[in-house]
A = this chain, B = another copy of it.
Amino acid sequence: MGSVERIQNVARRVAKWHQAGHQVVVVPSAMSGETNRLLGMAREIQKNPDPRELDMLASTGEQVSVALLSMALQELGVAARSYAGWQVPIRTDSAFNKARIQSIDDARVRADLDANKVVIITGFQGVDDQNNITTLGRGGSDTSAVAVAAAMGAVECLIYTDVDGVYTTDPRVVPEARRMNVISFEEMLEMASLGSKVLQIRSVEFAGRYRMPTRVLSSLTDPTGSLAEEMASGTLITFEEDEKMETAAVSGIAFSRDEAKLTLLAVPDKPGIAHSILGPIAAANIDVDVIVQNQSVAGTTDFSFTVNRAEYNRAVEVLTKEVQPAVGAREVVTDDKVCKVSIVGIGMRSHVGIASLMFQTLSQEGINIQMISTSEIKTSVIIADKYMELAVRALHKAFGLDQPGGSL
């Protein structure tokens, strides 16, 4: 949410749903720029702000939003009531800055809904069993929204964002990218996890766990437009495969620039080597993304993995100081100038040759593939990040995504 005016627009949109007879729970994010303002002050004071205090601080952004949105709804004549995460309560574990939701008590919210009130709940935050405020980390408001929708047994979770749906790839990189009306949950999961920034991965996971139909809509459309128009826009993440009209082999191209690659060369090859390497990384709370272990000669193996670029320095430190001496690797080679590009499609299950076309396309563009990782419905490659846009555009075209109903 942005300025006061933006809050008033959200209120108009919510009032429209309420007046159409729906029970509505709203989970707004912080006002635009507010979270950054708060984190900026924290970093001025402490280089690495204390995680618990950071959550105490950052959670105020959403609390401001819910109070103002409640006022804006009341001003429109709609009874409304705001709650902070701890008031619901939304229970989480104690992993400050990246907490996970454990349970949501719906009693208080349901009582308000039954009294014809709109309920507004702070996104992004909860409370642990010691009554400490926790936050869910980046994109946490989406996750909160899906979790609340699931807990309340909602018919659908609408996520208003600054894009009007899920595209075959980022339109800023490929102007020919097209909006999908429907996407399967599995595809969305891959698109989100691979860096398509529409929805945060954990909100998609939540949608999947509870089979919660979730629609991504634009918050920039006219808030007073008809509900029918609003529903026709955006992209519905569905759990019914036959609802999905487009049966293209590849539905979209995802990518992420925030990658960094770490390689251990000539690690003595013995059972348990992966755990010896990744155990300390996990213990340092660093998420590992792509992992590749190469077959080796002479009793050694090369082991590569990628991490989020923000955690690159820490990962390098753990690797050189802890892991390398422990496992006896010859050398650590690292590169934070890589990116990941992926093709995603539920149709890949039943089509052959999809990955081949990907490799061929990249080869034609002269792009060297550094790592490859595959799953049932996606194939990812790690390449030098300077080639990212080139690769995405070439693949979008090669798989026919530029044309309506495209792909092989």
Answer whether residue A41 sits at the interface, using C-beta atoms and an 8 A cutoff.
Answer: yes
A281 to B56, CA, bound (A): 40
Answer whether residue A75 sits at the interface, using C-beta atoms and an 8 A cutoff.
Answer: yes
Set of chain B residues within 8 Å of A81, measured between Cβ atoms: 52
From A62-70, A222-230, A390-398, the one touching the partner chain is A62-70
Answer whether residue A49 sits at the interface, using C-beta atoms and an 8 A cutoff.
Answer: yes
**Do B42 and A71 have beta carbons less than 8 Å apart?**
yes
Kindly report which residue of chain B lies nearest to residue A89, judged by CB atoms. B131
- Quote the shortest CB–CB distance from A106 to chain B (angstroms): 15
1/0 per position for A54-80, CB-CB distance to B under 8 A? 101101100110111011101100000
Partner pick for A50 among B8, B60, B71, B87, CB 8 A cutoff: B71
Kindly report which residue of chain B lies nearest to residue A132, judged by CB atoms. B87
Kindly report which residue of chain B lies nearest to residue A58, judged by CB atoms. B67
Kindly report which residue of chain B lies nearest to residue A5, judged by CB atoms. B44
A54 to B66, CA, bound (A): 11
| Residues of A in contact with B, size category | 35 or more
Set of chain B residues within 8 Å of A52, measured between Cβ atoms: 81
A60 to B125, CA, bound (A): 14
**Do A45 and B4 have beta carbons less than 8 Å apart?**
yes
Set of chain B residues within 8 Å of A72, measured between Cβ atoms: 45-46
Set of chain B residues within 8 Å of A57, measured between Cβ atoms: 63-64, 67-68, 71
A408 to B165, CA, bound (A): 81
Give this chain's copy count: 2
The answer to whether A45 and B133 touch (CB under 8 A), given A64-B60, A67-B54, is no
Answer whether residue A160 sits at the interface, using C-beta atoms and an 8 A cutoff.
Answer: no
The answer to whether A53 and B70 touch (CB under 8 A), given A63-B60, A75-B46, A84-B133, is yes
Answer whether residue A250 sits at the interface, using C-beta atoms and an 8 A cutoff.
Answer: no
Kindly report which residue of chain B lies nearest to residue A4, judged by CB atoms. B44
- Interface residues of A, dominant DSSP: helix
Answer whether residue A38 sits at the interface, using C-beta atoms and an 8 A cutoff.
Answer: yes
Answer whether residue A86 sits at the interface, using C-beta atoms and an 8 A cutoff.
Answer: yes
- Quote the shortest CB–CB distance from A188 to chain B (angstroms): 34
A52 to B7, CA, bound (A): 18
Partner pick for A74 among B8, B44, B50, B67, CB 8 A cutoff: B50
CB within 8 Å of B: which of A189-237? none
Answer whether residue A141 sits at the interface, using C-beta atoms and an 8 A cutoff.
Answer: no
A187 to B88, CA, bound (A): 45
Set of chain B residues within 8 Å of A64, measured between Cβ atoms: 38, 41, 57, 60
**Do B67 and A53 have beta carbons less than 8 Å apart?**
yes
**Do B71 and A53 have beta carbons less than 8 Å apart?**
yes
CB within 8 Å of B: which of A8-58? 8, 38, 41-42, 44-46, 49-50, 52-54, 56-57
A60 to B64, CA, bound (A): 7
Kindly report which residue of chain B lies nearest to residue A70, judged by CB atoms. B53
Set of chain B residues within 8 Å of A53, measured between Cβ atoms: 67-68, 70-71, 74, 82
The answer to whether A70 and B84 touch (CB under 8 A), given A38-B64, A63-B56, A64-B57, is no
Query: Which residues does A use to contact B, with CB under 8 Å?
Result: 4, 7-8, 38, 41-42, 44-46, 49-50, 52-54, 56-57, 59-60, 63-64, 66-68, 70-72, 74-75, 81-82, 84, 86-87, 131-133
A-B contact pairs, 22 of them (CB 8 A): A4-B44, A4-B45, A42-B67, A45-B71, A45-B72, A46-B74, A46-B75, A49-B71, A50-B70, A53-B68, A53-B70, A53-B71, A56-B63, A56-B66, A56-B67, A56-B70, A57-B64, A57-B67, A57-B68, A57-B71, A59-B63, A60-B64
